[in-house]
Amino acid sequence: MNRRTSSRLSVRSALATLVATLGGCAWDGPMTTVIPRSDFAREILHVYAIVTWVAAGIALVVGVALAWVLARFREKPGAALPVQTRGHTLLELAWTIAPALVLLVITIPTLHVIFRTQGAPPAQALEVTVLGRQWWWEFRYPTLGVATANELHLPVGRPVTLRLEGPDVIHSFWVPQLGGKRDVVPGRSNRLVLTPQVAGAYWGQCAEFCGASHANMRMRVIVDTPDAFARWVAAQQVTPPEPSGPAAAGKAIFASRACVGCHTIRGVSAGVLGPDLTTFGSRTTLGAGLFPNTPENVAAWITDPGALKPGVKMPALGLTDGEARAVARYLTSLK
């Protein structure tokens, strides 16, 4: 291989590496932290921006100083040993005071955000209790009498108080576009106060390792317009009507099996170990955001949950394919 061919291969390899690297730097991905959609997220991004610009300024100063030192004091052939300096009071004062000033610039806005986000919530704030469980999220609206799982609905423009509780192990509530991480700790109630500012659907994730399916402990936060949120609440408060056809057979199977010991369906069962399924059919995903909520996926989940989500605590119920499909039809009809 000649030198020209080798050079071309090196250039192509460098370009391929650059393209691959830039391809992983999407600005507006579903878990981006640089497109804030709440007041809390905007304040956090403001602090990040300050830290980033300060760090960039320090890097620039250090880089220029290093380049000047390398150029000015480079070794010259035959040159005598330069005069050795033993201590320099001005420099020592400078590199002590300068970092202190940098920390001060970063600390003031950081403390402002900490105190603001830890303050008392507004009187009109919507209260939601968030329970982090292995490996799914439960959301309760105490003032509305509504409970759901893995999909949190919030009204745009209204302050929200999320009260974070951990019934089993430590989790961490994280929806990047709505705010920073906040731990969900057993025996301790944490709080997150924010105001969603842009309607839309935002992905979230447990950010604290919590067991076998930690990576599969996802959630969606759906920020609705006030009218859409009111309609959603009204739909959640209604007891599902009696099903017909295959769904009716599915209800009978559900009511006669162990399902009723773990799940709540208003008017049918009152289990508390698994997600509330009263309006299960209105959710867009299954398994804490892993799969689209379709009858086929629900039937596969009922047949063998562990095959779809490692470590899941729901056991296989031993249903036939026909029974699983009937129960899936029933559950997806609950809207």
**pLDDT tens readout for residues 94-129:** 989 999 999 998 999 899 888 887 778 888 999 999
Give residue 296's pLDDT.
95
In a domain, 200, yes or no: yes
Q: Are residues 45 and 189 in the same domain?
A: yes
Say if residue 122 is in the same domain as residue 261: no
Last residue of a domain, one of 207, 237, 267: 237
pLDDT digits (tens, 9 = 90+) for 217-241: 999 999 999 999 999 999 999 888 8
The structural domain count of the chain equals 2
User: What average pLDDT does the segment 233-251 reach?
Assistant: 91
10 located within any domain: no
Which of 237, 264, 280 is at the close of a domain? Answer: 237
Residue 147 in this model has a pLDDT that exceeds 60: yes
Domain assignment present for residue 79? The answer is: no
One DSSP character per residue, 228-269 reads: HHHHHHHHHHSPPPPP-THHHHHHHHHHHSTHHHH-EETTTE
CATH of the domain at 262: 2.60.40.420
Calculate mean pLDDT across residues 240-265.
91
Higher pLDDT, 19 or 281: 281
Q: Are residues 154 and 283 in the same domain?
A: no
pLDDT value of position 24: 66
- Give the tens place of pLDDT for each residue, 133-146: 999 999 999 999 99
- Domain limit, last residue, from 237, 260, 282: 237
pLDDT score at 241: 87
Residue 315 within a domain: yes
| 11 pLDDT higher than 80 | no
Q: Which residues pair with 165 in a beta bridge?
A: 131
50 and 176 belong to one structural domain: yes
Q: Are residues 56 and 196 in the same domain?
A: yes
One domain for residues 198 and 254: no
Classify burial at 245, counting beta carbons within 10 Å of its beta carbon; exposed 0-12, middle 13-18, buried 19 or more. exposed
Q: Do 103 and 170 fall within a single domain?
A: yes
In a domain, 210, yes or no: yes
What does the pLDDT look like over 153-188, one tens digit per residue?
Answer: 999 999 999 999 999 999 999 999 998 789 999 999
Question: If you average pLDDT over residues 205-219, what whole number do you get?
Answer: 94
Output DSSP code: residue 281: G
Q: Are residues 58 and 180 in the same domain?
A: yes
Mean pLDDT of 266-288: 92
**pLDDT at residue 295, as a whole number:** 94
Residue 192 lies in a domain: yes
Tell me which of 11-25, 80-94, 320-334 is least confident.
11-25
Q: Predicted confidence band at 23 (pLDDT cuts at 50, 70, 90)?
A: low
Q: What is the pLDDT of residues 53-104, one digit of tens each?
A: 999 999 999 999 999 999 988 888 888 887 888 888 898 999 899 999 999 9
pLDDT at 275: 94
Contact 149, 220 (CB under 8 A): no
Residues 310 and 261 in one domain: yes
Looking at residue 59, its pLDDT comes to 95
Task: Check whether residue 220 and residue 185 sit in a common domain.
Answer: yes
Distance CA 127, CA 159 (A): 9
pLDDT tier, 15 (very low <50, low <70, confident <90, very high otherwise)? confident
Could you list the residue range(s) of the whole structural domain that residue 103 is in? 29-64+93-237
Question: Residues 282-306: what's their mean pLDDT?
Answer: 94
Q: What is the pLDDT of residue 118?
A: 79
C-alpha pair distances (Å), 146 with each of 68, 77, 232, 333: 66, 82, 10, 18
11 in any annotated domain: no
For the stretch 301-311, pLDDT in tens is 999 999 999 99
Residues 277, 206 share a domain: no
pLDDT, tens digit (0-9, with 9 covering 90-100), for 31-43: 888 899 999 999 9
Q: What is the C-alpha separation between 332 and 280, in angstroms, rounded?
A: 6
pLDDT of residue 51: 92
Residues 222, 274, single domain; the answer is no
Report the distance separating Cα 12 and Cα 8, nearest Å.
Answer: 6
Is residue 22 included in any domain, yes or no?
A: no
pLDDT at 1 over 60: no
Per-residue pLDDT, averaged over 260-270, amounts to 91
